[in-house]
Structure formats: C-alpha cells, structure tokens
Amino acid sequence: MRSGRHFLQIPGPTNTPERILRAMHRSVIDHRGPEFAELGQGLLKDLKRVFKTQNDVITYPASGTGAWEAALVNTLAPGDTVLMYETGQFATLWKNMATKLGFDPLFMQGDWRNGTNAEAIAAQLQADAQHQIKAVCVVHNDTSTGITSNIAAVRSAMDACQHPALLMVDTISSLGSIDFRTDEWGVDVVVAGSQKGLMLPPGLSFNAVSQKAWEACNTRGDRRSYWDWRDMKSPNEAGYFPYTPATTLLYGLREALDMLEEEGLDNVFARHARHAEATRVAVEAWGLEILASNPDERSNSLTAVVMPDNQGADALRKIILDEFDMSLGTGLNNVADRVFRIGHLGDFNDLMLMGTLAGVEMGLAKSGVTYQPGGVQMAMNHLVS
C-alpha cells in the first residue's frame, strides 16, 4: 500500500485528467446508431484544429505503432525507397518496421544528440534524380532522446530540390504539446497517438492525410486491410467507422479536445515551453547534461538527462520509484542505463513539475550520484520570475 498519488512522469502515457476519466465512465453505445454519428462527426471535424489541417484525420483503435504502419502501407508499393533519419529509438523502430514491411529504407545516420539535418536531407534528395525516394519519414519529437526536429526546414529542403516524395511525420509525443502545423508545413501524412499530449489512455492513433497522400493511397498502396484508409472514407463522412471503434476512448477524446480548446492551443504550447525551460534550469543546476546538444532542438515535452561518469540511470530510477513512488522514463537502446527521461507533458502544472523535480533531486541525493544540490530552487526561481 502506498499512500498519496503516484507520479507518472514518463513521456507517455501521461497523466489522464479527472475530467477525461469521468467522461469515459459511461456505457458503450451502438457504434452504428444515431447517437454515435453525432460523436464521430464532431470528433473528426474538431481533430483537424489540433493537427492544424483541413485534411482528413483517420482514427484507429490502435497504439501509435499502428498509425506508423498505416502511413507506410497506404502510400507505398513493395520495394519503394523511403528516406528516414535517425533521431533516436523511435526513428529507428519506424525504420525497422519499413524493412519488415518490404520497403527499402535509406536510413540517414544520426548521433542521438541532434535532430534532422535538413541540408543533408536536401543533398540526398538532390542526388535522387530518378525520384526513387517515395517518402521522407521523420519524427518531430523523438521521445527517446528529447529532440525536436525542425519540420519546416525539412519541407523547405524538399521544395528547394522540387522532389515529389511524400513528407510523413511522427508527432506522437508532440501533438497537443509542441506547435505542429500540418498544412503550413505541407505534411502529407501525420502520425499521432492518444496517450501523450492528448492526455488519454493508450489505444487511439491517427493519420492526417493530404490530397497527395490520398492519391498515393489510390495508386501505390498495396496490401492492407485493417489499415486501409479507403474503407474509412465513406463511413467517416457520416461519423461512423468501418469496424468497431474504441467508443470509450472516443468519449475521452471529446473531453480532451474540449479541454485543449478551452485552454487555447497557444497557451498549451506556452505552458509546455515554460515547464521544459524550468526543467532544463534544474538539470543544469544539478550539473548534469541534457542529451539534446542543440538548445534549439530541446524538447518541450520531455527532457533526457545524461548520467555523470557512467553511473547507472536505472539504479537512480529504481530508488526514485521505490522511495518516492515516481516513474521516470528509461533510457532506450543506445542510451540504455545512460539517460533517464523526465516527462513534462500533457495534464501538468507548476506544482506537479516541482513535485517531479523534487523527486529527482531527492533521488540524486539518496543514490550517491555526483550532482550539485539546488536545482529545485533554481526551477522555482524560474517559475516565479
């Protein structure tokens, strides 16, 4: 038995607010009945505002990984080359998936400390005179490294060499936390999920689909069934889905969209930026390093912190969980046990941030890790300044 509330400060799933929990605590309705149509039509329309798009938003009862697969299988033919960029573990997993599905990823190597390099992408596209590359796939906010890439710069690079590839972007840990502009940045397929910035439990994922991506769907996409965008088209127009949707999560989504609207998206982004900044102030005061080396690419939804002198991040995380009942994100793959990640996204406020940072600082004290005390005080100063 642990008294008080658990601190779920992994970078997704995030804390689900009471309002959303209550909204989901309802009987499931007939997903082919008239009441459902109203829910479905409202959601499919209002989702567009969060994506900043006029395009269709396809909604799946699936984790984010499903929406990755949907993006690929709907637009590409077997053997198609896809340009992907290693910003961390999530970019790597998407690349592995492309390989498994029979596509041919051209994986541009990164160092897990920097975001996408638009100039390097431009050089690759320039060299592709035959237009073998059918899609450029990048992760907006790589949750393993806490790096946010400049998507507008990737778009400009593609435009500068007039390359016709589709631009597909994973926004699973940025949508609803960090500004993302689908239409302005000419993103053909956006991949998103429910359990991060949208504050919902896991189980929904999304593709926002441009006209150009629909054309690829009709002409290139090959073997797909569950993920087939085409089967969504006519049911969605009437507010329905081709198979049973995750009705309960959709009630929650209705509430989440209302909450984002009430706060205002710009205020949501500013809140995340402020909490991220205060977190970075604390980390720097502790004398620890932030994994993202370029200050302009440091994520506003999470911070990946490098452990000093090869001291284990997992031992620190264990102490923090055991002693203070707080879950922090683990280091993945290349940075396993080398970093821990502080999630500061979703339903979050100043005191939740201070509780989180206090838990980290107390854990540092208990674990014997080399650090400077006082990061919490510096973060408090930052928040009240």
Residues found near ligand PLP in the complex (CB under 6 A) = 12, 63-65, 90, 139, 142-143, 170, 172-173, 193, 202
| Cα(84)–Cα(95) distance, integer angstroms | 7
Q: Which is nearer to ligand PLP, 345 or 369 (CB)?
A: 345
> Strand 81-85 to strand 104-108: parallel, antiparallel, or no bridges (unpaired)?
parallel
Q: Which is nearer to ligand PLP, 133 or 302 (CB)?
A: 302
Residue 250 Cβ vs ligand PLP, minimum distance, rounded to whole Å = 17
Q: Which is nearer to ligand PLP, 63 or 334 (CB)?
A: 63
Residue least distant from ligand PLP (Cβ): 64
Residue 249 Cβ vs ligand PLP, minimum distance, rounded to whole Å = 12
Q: Which is nearer to ligand PLP, 278 or 302 (CB)?
A: 302
The answer to whether residues 178 and 199 touch, using CB atoms and an 8 Å cutoff, is no
Q: Which is nearer to ligand PLP, 71 or 364 (CB)?
A: 71
DSSP helix/strand/coil, 339: strand
DSSP designation for 172: T
Characterize 38-64 residue by residue with b for buried, 16 or more Cβ atoms within 10 angstroms of its Cβ, and e for exposed.
ebbebbbebbbebbbbebbbbbbbbbb
- By CB atoms closer than 10 A (0-12, 13-18, 19+), residue 321 is middle
| Cα(35)–Cα(108) distance, integer angstroms | 48
Residue 148 Cβ vs ligand PLP, minimum distance, rounded to whole Å = 11
Residue 88 Cβ vs ligand PLP, minimum distance, rounded to whole Å = 8
Residue 263 Cβ vs ligand PLP, minimum distance, rounded to whole Å = 22
Residue 97 Cβ vs ligand PLP, minimum distance, rounded to whole Å = 10
Q: Which is nearer to ligand PLP, 65 or 377 (CB)?
A: 65
Question: Can you say whether the dihedral through the CA atoms of 315, 352, 266, 54 is positive or negative?
Answer: positive
- By CB atoms closer than 10 A (0-12, 13-18, 19+), residue 173 is buried
Residue 90 Cβ vs ligand PLP, minimum distance, rounded to whole Å = 4
> Strand 189-193 to strand 205-209: parallel, antiparallel, or no bridges (unpaired)?
antiparallel
Q: Which is nearer to ligand PLP, 168 or 172 (CB)?
A: 172
